[in-house]
Amino acid sequence: MSADLFEPFRLGDLTLANRMVMAPMTRNRADRVGVVPPMTVAYYQQRASAGLIIAESAHSSADGVGYPFTPGIYTDAQAKGWLRVTDAVHSAGGRIFLQVFHCGRISHPSLLPGNATPAAPSAQRAAGQAMTYAGMQDFVTPRALLTREIPGVVAQFRHAAAMAQRADFDGVEIHAGNGYLIDQFLRDGSNHRTDAYGGTVQNRARLLAEILDAVCTEWPSRRVGVRLTPENSFNSMADSNPQEHFEYIIRDLGRHDLAYVHVLEGDMTADVEAGGIDRRATTKAMDYRSLRANFAGTYIANNGYYLARAQTALRHGAADLIAFGVPFLANPDLVRRYREGLPLNDADPSTFYGGGEVGYTDYPLYRSTYLPAA
């Protein structure tokens, strides 16, 4: 059946006003203890016309922090800050999930309690540098998590999920992509373990499965989503056979009866021109239609989508929902602009990460220049 971007969609027991999802986007505007400020309330409320907002990544614990001025969801103060956001979104008629993550090796000792060495599946250092309060610093070689420590990581995600429920989110998304801890376990370029969490794809998927089992004791499974990024090279990531491995992973997710799987299609470091020309179409290694066919539930497609491409994907059954990032960042009324064919605001990349209201809550709504006759 042909679907339209602007029609309602049933997501588990929730009815979404449309099939447009605001993608999670880190904005680095929390305080040093991971509490979102009042301007974050306005930011998300302005965008509540999205069928679903997936709020920016929130750390599952102090051990998982990887960036300065990013929010958490493991303390009472953090949950209270987020509650102001969810109240505002709900008052505007919106729905909002929280993405929860642990950065693993994509961190730096200066960001962690006691200047601890970041933990990862294996002692494999990522290329590049960490963003810290003192500026950019080289990533360090992480320590490999001991097998006996892994239940503690799982427990942190369960606690974070419980705190998200206290903050009155509509659900949670477990971030298993973009080179963060769960993704580091999933992909064989970063997971060189020889215990029950390494080697085969079945073993490498074990941590994600255990986290989902734990989170689904706090939330109904139909209020839990997962983010996957099978071929994204961001944060020095790679896998020897992403098609085969992630087809197994996405099939295995089916047994959890989740709200959705949210897939970043392609490599976020590849170029998509501002005008919407997708240069990755001729270079994709993955068959995402095949990947999507291995998951019986709701599939959210992400990465470089614009109006025409989104409508085509929905019409052809390539996705159920479409996630938009920068277009929502710069256009709080993106749903209206797309529906009515209105021009879009230009985004200012210099304000994406850190700062105040400028480039955050001050993007204007569309104002018609039409003046009715006297």
Q: What is the mean pLDDT of residues 251-265?
A: 97
Q: What is the mean pLDDT of residues 143-154?
A: 98
DSSP-based three-state secondary structure for 224: strand
Strand partners, 98: 55, 172
pLDDT at residue 310 in the model: 98
Strands 119-120 and 96-101: unpaired
* Helix, strand, coil % in the chain, rounded to nearest 5: 35, 15, 50
Q: 364 is written with which tokens?
A: 């204007």
Is-catalytic flag, 360?
A: no
Cα–Cα distance for residue pair 197/63, rounded to 1 Å: 20
Q: 106 is written with which tokens?
A: 């994509």
| Tens-place pLDDT, residues 42-66 | 999 999 999 999 999 999 999 999 9
Strands 14-16 and 9-11: antiparallel
pLDDT at residue 278 in the model: 41
| Tens-place pLDDT, residues 196-213 | 999 999 999 999 999 999
CATH superfamily of 9-351: Aldolase class I (3.20.20.70)
pLDDT at residue 51 in the model: 98
**Of 130, 108, 126, 125, which is closest to residue 117 (Cα–Cα)?**
108
Catalytic residue among 44, 74, 180, 305: 180
Cα–Cα distance for residue pair 21/350, rounded to 1 Å: 24
Half-sphere exposure of 102 (CA within 13 A, CB side): 30
> Over pLDDT 90: what percentage of the chain?
92
Which runs of consecutive H residues, i.e. helices, occur in 294-333? 307-315, 326-330
Contact 216, 150 (CB under 8 A): no
Sign, Cα dihedral of 76, 79, 84, 90: negative
pLDDT at residue 285 in the model: 75
pLDDT at residue 183 in the model: 98
Inform me whether the pLDDT recorded for 373 exceeds 90. no
Residue count of the chain: 374
Inform me whether the pLDDT recorded for 246 exceeds 50. yes
Inform me whether the pLDDT recorded for 99 exceeds 70. yes
Angle at the Cα of 26 from the Cα atoms of 158 and 118, rounded to 5 degrees = 60
pLDDT band at 6 (very low <50, low <70, confident <90, very high): very high
pLDDT band at 374 (very low <50, low <70, confident <90, very high): very low
Computed on alpha carbons and rounded to an integer, the radius of gyration of the chain in Å comes to 20
Cα–Cα distance for residue pair 178/162, rounded to 1 Å: 24
Q: 93 is written with which tokens?
A: 């008629």
Inform me whether the pLDDT recorded for 184 exceeds 80. yes
Q: 267 is written with which tokens?
A: 């490599």
DSSP-based three-state secondary structure for 2: coil
Contact 94, 21 (CB under 8 A): no
pLDDT at residue 271 in the model: 52
The residues spanned by each domain of the chain are 9-351
Does the reported pTM lie above 0.85? yes
Instruction: Please state, in angstroms and as integers, the Cα–Cα distance from residue 268 to each residue in 51, 183, 234, 272, following that order.
Output: 23, 15, 7, 9
